[in-house]
Amino acid sequence: MARQVQYTFKGTTKVIAFSYDRFVDLYEAVAAAEGVDLAGFLAMEQQVAKTAKDKAAIKNFRQQAFTKMGFSNITFLRDES
């Protein structure tokens, strides 16, 4: 089943194809589509994961970091068939 991700990057809404064979999660997919380097982000995310007491802190960090990069409304599109 083909999946699609819809996101807004710097005010422009876009839709891209998504596959778990190529990407770990939808955040990695949208960053790759826009050519954003995630090396620094991934290192900091690992540090947050080591010190966080729950997964909500990691999710919150990820959402805030991607908002600072210019991304918003990152979601999977539902299959209409």
Model pLDDT, residue 80: 63
Model pLDDT, residue 22: 92
13 CB-near residues (< 8 Å, 6+ apart): 6, 7, 73
Model pLDDT, residue 43: 94
Count of domains for the chain:
1
Strands (E), 1-81: 3-9, 12-18, 71-76
List per-residue pLDDT tens for the chain, 81 residues long: 578 999 999 999 999 999 999 998 899 999 999 999 999 999 999 999 999 988 899 999 999 999 999 999 999 997 765
Longest CA span, the chain: 43
CB 46 within 8 A of CB 54: no
Look up the domain containing 53 and give its range: 3-77
Per DSSP, the chain holds a count of helices (H) and strands (E) of 3, 3
